[in-house]
Amino acid sequence: MSHAVFLHAAGDARVAPFNLREGAPGETLLDVAAVGLCGSDLHYYKDGGIGSAVIATPFVPGHEFSGWLTEDVPEFGLSRGALVAVDPNQACGRCEHCREGHPNLCPEVVFIGAPPHDGAMTERIWVPKSQLVAVPQHFTPSDAVMLEPLGVAIHAVDLAKPRLLERVALLGCGPIGLLILQVLRAVGVGEILVCDPQPHRRALALKLGAGKAGESVADITEWTKGEGLPLVIEATNAPEGFRDAVRAARIGGRVVLVGIPDGDSYVVPASETRRRGLTVRFSRRMGHVYPRAIELVALGKVDVEAVVSHRFTLAEGPEAFRRHAANEAGMVKSLIYPQGQSRIRSG
């Protein structure tokens, strides 16, 4: 009998036996190597849902994951035992949104790890072969897991369209913010000014290349003498994140909102947004970005390991949720290893 982390309701995570379903045509079975605890997983834990995606019955979270193949997949040139990443987003491919190149916005998407679809916080999982992502042989399970959040960061930067040597404000130095920071550096922006209320995250942002790191948007306002910056990327979980992004932007600037606010609502004064004449983009998930994510990691342009602060066994999964929800000092990104302590030590 397998076990899994189940989310029953807000604040209620439990490890319990899990009956692995039968595989469907076109699927293959993975031994889950590692799975990330994402900000969206944390929103399910804290709020009981995100918009219309609510926990109606207990479900297994986990959409950032890697695993070992339990059988050969010859159509992709993959052998049993190979480590793979998985794209959790199974868009329909038929609607106008998919045809226009927006599979991340498909209304008919089946998304692994979003209710009601069980995710990878378990020992084994069936996944469509079409969603397997081959990774270089030297990649570790954590490297492969982090390709999904790195893909989110790449998509956000794609929407931002940063200009060479342009100064950028980045609000929020959680895992997505820290990955966005590294992608921004890779594409050649100028000084990056960041803010985050947690000192350990500010320190990590500086280590990864931020020019300055402040506690709040007030620091960015002071550093720019009230002028603001031409590009602001928001990656917080705060309802005030939209408001702060507006206040960090200069007149005529661009804002990209990546974070999911607690309570699923933004706080923003309309007049400040209008008077700046801002262009605002909302970022959701990603498009077809895995090849670039793999290359950024393989070339050392992005250090995904630097973002991982904690590692847990499956039995410790509820504790990981609790500690993140409590904003415990030192927490940045947690990975869960369903195969046990030996797999944690091997990465």
Per residue of the chain (347 residues), what is the pLDDT tens digit?
Answer: 789 999 999 999 999 999 999 999 999 999 999 999 998 899 899 989 888 888 999 999 999 999 999 999 999 999 999 999 999 998 888 999 988 888 888 888 888 999 989 999 999 999 999 999 999 999 999 999 999 999 999 999 999 999 999 999 999 999 999 999 999 999 999 999 999 999 999 999 999 999 999 999 999 999 999 999 999 999 999 999 999 999 999 999 999 999 989 888 898 888 888 999 999 999 998 878 999 999 999 999 999 999 999 999 999 999 999 999 999 999 999 999 999 766 665 55
Q: How many angstroms separate the CA atoms of 314 and 12, rounded? A: 15
Neighbouring C-beta atoms of residue 156, cutoff 10 Å:
27
In angstroms, how far is the first alpha carbon of the chain from the final one? Answer: 25
3-class SS at 345? helix
C-alpha angle 188-189-194 in degrees, rounded to nearest 5? 135
Q: Which stretches of 129-214 are assigned E, i.e. beta strand?
A: 132-134, 168-171, 192-195, 212-214
How confident is the model at residue 191, as a pLDDT? 98
What b/e string do you get for 157-192 counting C-beta neighbours within 10 Å, with b at 16 or more? bbbbebeeebbbbbbbbbbbbbbbbbbbbbbebeeb
Alpha carbon 217 to chain centroid, angstroms: 23
Q: What is the pLDDT of residue 92?
A: 85
Sign of the C-alpha dihedral, residues 335, 70, 286, 115? negative
pLDDT of residue 87: 95
Show the tokens assigned to 166: 């342009």
| C-alpha torsion sign, points 82, 320, 203, 154 | positive
The pLDDT of residue 108 is: 85
Phi, psi of 128 (to 5 degrees): -65, 135
The C-alpha atoms of residue 265 and residue 147 are separated, in whole angstroms, by 28
